[in-house]
């Protein structure tokens, strides 16, 4: 019997959903100001399918804002965003393709944002129940599959208040998987976790990129985590990416003065 994956069976083919340069996500010249103060200044960024790009940089440099703009939680003022080979934002304006493709983006935050009074199954199924109109049976199967992906299958009926921080973060990843994302954006998801637990979360993300071809963008201040997780380190400074290199180069041979000073300051 052929094995099926209910999460991915309905997702687009990984090989055919990237742009011409192989990037699943690309931002070009994305700008965003808050109260007249520019936070993103024509930021160019890309993530390929099956790749983890880690954004590092000083606090307040605009890393989270870039993720939030990509996720559609903040509107860009200008610039283009391509997703799965389609332009979803052009010159700061959402295009028709955005409606079809926005569901391919999942975002996870440091604070888990799980409903504490609900059990794990309810936390996983509430959004697809409200938005996809799928049957309980289908959703149960998907929830089991998503929890298996993150090594939490035995916690289907656990209350979230009974889970440790690392377990909650894995449930938060499983919840994002319920919506069948092809792009996962993670904002400081390990900063409340101790190193062994952060390593478990890293294992989950690595498996998702390698086995499912998910594109993953991570913002973190944890340089040990960044160096292990990243295929590419993107150094963010003053509203745009100043250096985009493999982790070995970022940490051992940074080219720009900004990244050199940053790495010296945070050396672990
Ligand atoms: N909704 C908002 N309204 C007003 N200002 C905002 C808003 N979101 C972000 N900012 C401001 O934009 C700047 C960049 O914030 P952002 O959170 O993107 O930085 P960051 O690099 O992710 O920082 P950190 O590493 O501390 O999370 C900050 O000065 C922040 O106060």
Instruction: Give the position, in ligand 1's atom list, of the atom nearest the Cα of 236.
Output: 21
Q: Tell me: the pLDDT tens digits for 172-206? A: 999 988 888 999 999 998 887 788 888 888 998 99
Q: Where are the domains of the chain?
A: 14-266
| Local confidence band at 209 (pLDDT 50, 70, 90 cut-offs) | very high
The separation between the first and the last C-alpha atoms of the chain, rounded to the nearest angstrom, is 49
Q: What is the pLDDT of residue 112?
A: 65
Q: What pLDDT is stored for residue 15 in this prediction?
A: 45
Find, among 107, 22, 15, 30, the residue nearest to 62 by Cα: 30
Q: Which atom of ligand 1 is nearest to the CA of 67?
A: 18
- Which of 39, 55, 107, 258 to mutate for ligand 1's pocket (most ligand atoms within 8 Å of CB)? 39
Burial class for 233, CB neighbours closer than 10 Å (0-12, 13-18, 19+): buried
Which residue puts its alpha carbon closest to atom 24 of ligand 1? 59
CA 149 – CA 133 distance, rounded (Å): 23
Distance from Cα 65 to the centre of ligand 1, integer Å:
6
Ligand 1 atom 28: residue of nearest CA = 60
Q: Which residues pair with 78 in a beta bridge?
A: 31
Q: In angstroms, what is the span from residue 63 Cα to ligand 1's centroid?
A: 8
Task: Check residue 110 and give its pLDDT.
Answer: 80
Question: How does residue 14 score in pLDDT terms, banded at 50, 70 and 90?
Answer: very low
Q: Which whole number is the average pLDDT over 241-247?
A: 96
Helices (H), 102-256: 120-131, 136-149, 165-178, 195-212, 223-229, 247-252
d(CA 1, CA 4): 9
Cβ < 6 A, ligand 1 pocket: 34, 39, 57, 59-65, 219
pLDDT at 45 over 50: yes
CA 234, 79, 131, 141 dihedral sign is negative
In this prediction, residue 180 carries a pLDDT of 84
Quote the CA–CA distance of 20 and 71 in Å, as a whole number.
22
pLDDT band at 58 (very low <50, low <70, confident <90, very high): very high
221 membership: H or E segment, kind and range: none
Least confident of 103-117, 162-176, 233-247: 103-117
The H or E element that residue 71 is part of is helix 63-71
Q: Which CATH superfamily is domain 14-266 in?
A: P-loop containing nucleotide triphosphate hydrolases (3.40.50.300)
Q: How many angstroms is it from 236 CA to the middle of ligand 1?
A: 13
* Contacts for 77 with CB less than 8 Å, ≥ 6 apart: 31, 32, 33, 92
């Amino acid at each position: 019997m052929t094995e099926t994956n209910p999460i991915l069976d309905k997702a687009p083919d990984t090989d055919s959903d990237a742009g011409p340069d192989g990037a699943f996500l690309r931002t070009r010249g994305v700008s965003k100001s808050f109260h007249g103060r520019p936070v993103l200044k024509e930021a160019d960024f890309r993530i390929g399918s099956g790749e983890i790009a880690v954004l590092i940089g000083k606090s307040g440099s605009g890393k989270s804002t870039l993720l939030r703009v990509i996720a559609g939680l903040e509107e860009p003022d200008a610039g283009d965003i391509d997703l799965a080979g389609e332009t979803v934002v052009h010159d700061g304006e959402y295009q028709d393709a955005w409606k079809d493709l926005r569901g391919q983006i999942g975002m996870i935050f440091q604070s888990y944002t799980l409903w504490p009074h609900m059990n794990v199954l309810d936390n996983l199924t509430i959004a697809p129940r409200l938005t996809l109109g799928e049957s309980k049976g289908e959703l149960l199967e998907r929830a089991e599959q998503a929890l298996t992906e993150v090594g939490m299958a035995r916690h289907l009926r656990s209350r979230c208040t009974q889970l440790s921080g690392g377990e909650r973060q894995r449930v938060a990843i499983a919840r994002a998987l319920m919506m069948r994302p092809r792009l996962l954006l993670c904002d400081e998801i390990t900063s409340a976790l101790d190193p062994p637990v952060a390593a478990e979360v890293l294992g989950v993300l690595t498996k998702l990129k390698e086995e499912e071809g998910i594109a993953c963008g991570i913002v973190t201040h944890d340089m040990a985590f960044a160096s292990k997780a990243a295929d590419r380190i993107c150094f963010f400074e003053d509203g745009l990416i100043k250096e985009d290199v493999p982790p070995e180069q970022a940490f051992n041979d940074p080219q720009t003065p900004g990244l050199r000073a940053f790495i010296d300051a945070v050396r672990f």
